[in-house]
Amino acid sequence: MRRDLTLANSLRPFNHKDMKEQLLQRISINPNICFGKPCISGHRIWVSLILDLLANGTSVEEVLEDYPGLEREDVLACIAYGSEMTRERYVDVPSAA
């Protein structure tokens, strides 16, 4: 029976919007904590720190080892936050010459 439930769940349409909204609830912005920078809720770990680590080649597993209080969903929340930020703002990047 459990296998049937798993199959039924896998056939359900995946809603990316709901997942992203759930992930973003893991991010907090409080002017009295970390200078108002976006942080992982319940931690004083900046979203930008996690994104920098990932951009520099650190794996999600390595981040979780270095920050044992975090969960995989916290790291995914940082990525989701970064994704949302790019919808509103652009960063100049060097052009290929």
Residue 4 within any structural domain of the chain: no
pLDDT in tens, 57-94: 999 999 999 999 999 999 999 999 999 888 877 777 78
CATH number, domain of 53, equals 1.10.10.10
Please name which of 16, 34, 36 lies closest in space to residue 79, comparing C-alpha atoms: 16
Please check whether residue 93 lies inside any domain of the structure: no
Report if residue 97 sits inside a domain: no
Tell me the pTM: 0.76
Q: What is the domain extent for residue 72?
A: 16-87
